[in-house]
């Protein structure tokens, strides 16, 4: 065991179980260097410090992020991999080629402040720092900053449910423009099946049985999301329309995607789209996104900021208001968190309370009023 200085920074050189460890202690203070060295020796003794992790600690952030993404390929579904890559975009921009070992708690809180100034909310910030935490954990570096970096408190809301009036306005707006057709049909299916956008995009015609009126969701965020959902008349109609659209481009195979990738060429009247032709159609790939159409559509409907995923909450809320049990909701919607179930239990109780109040109104109409009894009760002398 030895401490030595390079320039102004202390380094350590020690052996544990025959393995040699040489590492910077990231400090010019003698006492802090001694404390850091003891921690490293303890980690090495517990098997938490390896040559691989010390090498990773010197990696530039971009390279470490690439290695992390590659290591997760076998662990995550394609949709989750895409999401993690997206969450790494801003982290790559900020940390660039900075070595992992140089990422301190202050650098992390500075990053969080930088993103907050861009208008990013706590949920997104927590997700981005979650990726950073996992990258640092692979290099055995997270423990040194963990006590100083805590998750931000996120809003209690788990989604926004529309009123019936807002929902009808949204759907009526969606049929106004041809470029919104895909977003409109996806919205209809979400409202009638509770399917997430990633689940809808992954649907193939082999998953659709219009005769048995069922939809099999094979690709989801979790294994709990894999399920068979019965189809309503509205959902069957939307799928039949998608089928007719697909048949317009040729023979439909079972392996083709329901929401197939296509390239539209729009026809304009001034700035307004009055029609479009599909110049490219590939049923072997699913559409990448309908995000742009959805944002334009919701803004036109007077619902700016309403997320496509919120349609799932609308559908589940409607099931809960109808008195559907937790087990049935989970069977239809797949994975539902405990917090969501508690919320929908509350919704169910409110629906029951409203129904019971209706009974009270009819009783009052028949001549019974609780106000008189309540007033009399307050004047009574309680028994001693």
CATH number at residue 234: 1.10.443.10
Q: Which helix (H) or strand (E) holds 10?
A: strand 9-16
As a whole number, mean pLDDT of residues 64-69 equals 91
Q: What is the Cα–Cα distance from 174 to 300, expressed in whole angstroms?
A: 9
Instruction: Clarify whether residues 138 and 18 are in a common domain.
Output: no
Instruction: Clarify whether residues 193 and 333 are in a common domain.
Output: yes
Instruction: Clarify whether residues 306 and 217 are in a common domain.
Output: yes
Q: What pairing do the DSSP bridges indicate for beta strands 208-209 and 214-217?
A: antiparallel
Does position 370 have pLDDT exceeding 60, yes or no?
no
Helix axes 310-321, 181-193, angle to 10 degrees: 30
127-143 pLDDT, tens per residue? Answer: 999 999 999 988 888 88
Instruction: Clarify whether residues 337 and 296 are in a common domain.
Output: yes
pLDDT value of position 24:
79
Q: What pairing do the DSSP bridges indicate for beta strands 214-217 and 227-230?
A: antiparallel
Does position 351 have pLDDT exceeding 70, yes or no?
yes
Lowest-confidence segment of 175-184, 205-214, 349-358 by average pLDDT = 349-358
Structure confidence at residue 372 as a pLDDT band (50, 70, 90): low
CATH of the domain at 101: 1.10.150.130
Instruction: Clarify whether residues 257 and 336 are in a common domain.
Output: yes
Q: Which two tokens stand for residue 110?
A: 């500075």
Structure confidence at residue 93 as a pLDDT band (50, 70, 90): very high
How does DSSP assign 247-269, residue by residue?
A: HTTSPPPTTSBTTEEEEEEEEEE
Q: What is the Cα–Cα distance from 107 to 120, expressed in whole angstroms?
A: 18
What is the share, in percent, of the chain residues with pLDDT greater than 90?
36
pLDDT value of position 368:
54
**List of residues 6+ apart from 91 with CB closer than 8 A:** 61, 65, 111, 128, 131, 132
Q: What is the Cα–Cα distance from 239 to 62, expressed in whole angstroms?
A: 43
Instruction: Clarify whether residues 120 and 268 are in a common domain.
Output: no
Do the Cβ atoms of 95 and 56 come closer than 8 Å? Answer: no
Domain termination residue (choose one: 95, 120, 148): 148
Does position 376 have pLDDT exceeding 50, yes or no?
no
Does position 169 have pLDDT exceeding 90, yes or no?
yes
As a whole number, mean pLDDT of residues 76-103 equals 89
Instruction: Clarify whether residues 188 and 321 are in a common domain.
Output: yes
Asked, for residue 327, whether it belongs to a domain, the answer is: yes
Asked, for residue 180, whether it belongs to a domain, the answer is: yes
pLDDT value of position 40:
80
Asked, for residue 287, whether it belongs to a domain, the answer is: yes
Structure confidence at residue 308 as a pLDDT band (50, 70, 90): very high
Hey, is 9 helix, strand or coil? strand
Instruction: Clarify whether residues 87 and 29 are in a common domain.
Output: no
Q: Is the dihedral of CA 261, 266, 271, 273 positive or negative?
A: negative
Mark 238-277 as b/e (b = at least 16 C-beta within 10 Å): bbeebeebbeeeeebeeebbbbbebebeeeeeeeeeeebe
239-271 pLDDT, tens per residue? Answer: 999 999 899 888 999 999 999 988 767 677 787
216-243 pLDDT, tens per residue? Answer: 998 776 666 788 999 999 999 999 999 9
What string of H, E and C letters represents the secondary structure of 79-128? HHHHHHHHHHHHHHHHHCCCEHHHCCHHHHHHHHHHHHHCCCCHHHHHHH
Instruction: Clarify whether residues 44 and 66 are in a common domain.
Output: no
Asked, for residue 269, whether it belongs to a domain, the answer is: yes
Asked, for residue 319, whether it belongs to a domain, the answer is: yes
Q: Which domain holds residue 75?
A: 61-148
Residue with tokens 């050189």: 13
Does position 173 have pLDDT exceeding 80, yes or no?
yes
Asked, for residue 350, whether it belongs to a domain, the answer is: no
Using CA atoms, how far residue 78 sits from 70, 74, 86, 118, in Å, is: 12, 10, 12, 28
Domain termination residue (choose one: 309, 327, 342): 342
CB atoms within 10 A of CB 8: 7
Instruction: Clarify whether residues 191 and 334 are in a common domain.
Output: yes
Domain termination residue (choose one: 148, 177, 208): 148
Asked, for residue 374, whether it belongs to a domain, the answer is: no
The domain total for the chain is 3
Do the Cβ atoms of 111 and 94 come closer than 8 Å? Answer: yes
Instruction: Clarify whether residues 217 and 307 are in a common domain.
Output: yes
Q: Which helix (H) or strand (E) holds 214?
A: strand 214-217
Asked, for residue 90, whether it belongs to a domain, the answer is: yes
Instruction: Clarify whether residues 204 and 296 are in a common domain.
Output: yes
């Amino acid at each position: 065991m030895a401490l030595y200085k390079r320039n102004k920074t202390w380094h350590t050189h020690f052996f544990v179980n025959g393995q040699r460890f040489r590492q910077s202690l990231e400090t010019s203070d003698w006492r802090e260097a001694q404390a850091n060295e003891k921690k490293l020796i303890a980690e090495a003794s517990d098997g938490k410090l390896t040559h691989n992790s010390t090498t990773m600690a010197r990696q530039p952030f971009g390279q470490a992020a690439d290695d992390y993404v590659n290591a997760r390929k076998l662990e995550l579904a394609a949709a989750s991999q895409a999401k993690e890559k997206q969450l790494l975009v801003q982290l790559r921009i900020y940390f660039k080629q900075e070595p992992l070992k140089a990422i301190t708690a202050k650098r992390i809180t500075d990053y969080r402040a930088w993103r907050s100034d861009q208008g990013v909310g706590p949920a997104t910030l927590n997700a981005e720092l979650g990726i950073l935490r996992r990258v640092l954990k692979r290099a055995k570096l997270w423990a040194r900053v963990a006590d100083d970096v805590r998750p931000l408190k996120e809003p209690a809301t788990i989604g926004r449910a529309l009123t019936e009036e807002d929902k009808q306005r949204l759907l009526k707006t969606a049929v106004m423009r041809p470029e919104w057709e895909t977003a409109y049909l996806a919205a209809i299916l979400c409202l009638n099946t509770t399917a997430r956008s990633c689940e809808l995009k992954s649907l193939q015609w082999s998953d659709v049985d219009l005769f048995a009126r069922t939809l099999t969701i094979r690709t989801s965020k979790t294994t709990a999301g894999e399920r068979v959902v019965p189809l309503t008349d509205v959902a069957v109609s939307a799928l039949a329309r998608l089928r007719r659209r697909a048949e317009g481009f040729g023979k439909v195979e079972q392996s083709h995607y329901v929401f197939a990738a296509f390239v539209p060429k729009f026809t304009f009247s001034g700035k307004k789209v009055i029609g479009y032709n599909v110049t490219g159609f590939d049923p072997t790939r699913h559409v990448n996104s309908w995000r742009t159409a959805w944002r334009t559509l919701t803004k036109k409907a007077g619902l700016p900021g309403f997320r496509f995923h919120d349609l799932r909450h609308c559908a589940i809320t409607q099931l809960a208001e109808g008195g559907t049990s937790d087990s049935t909701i989970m069977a239809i919607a797949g994975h539902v968190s405990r917090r969501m179930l508690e919320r929908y239990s509350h919704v169910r109780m409110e629906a029951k309370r409203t129904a019971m109040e209706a009974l009270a109104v009819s009783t009052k109409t028949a001549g019974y009023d609780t106000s008189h009894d309540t007033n009399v009760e307050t004047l009574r002398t309680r028994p001693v």
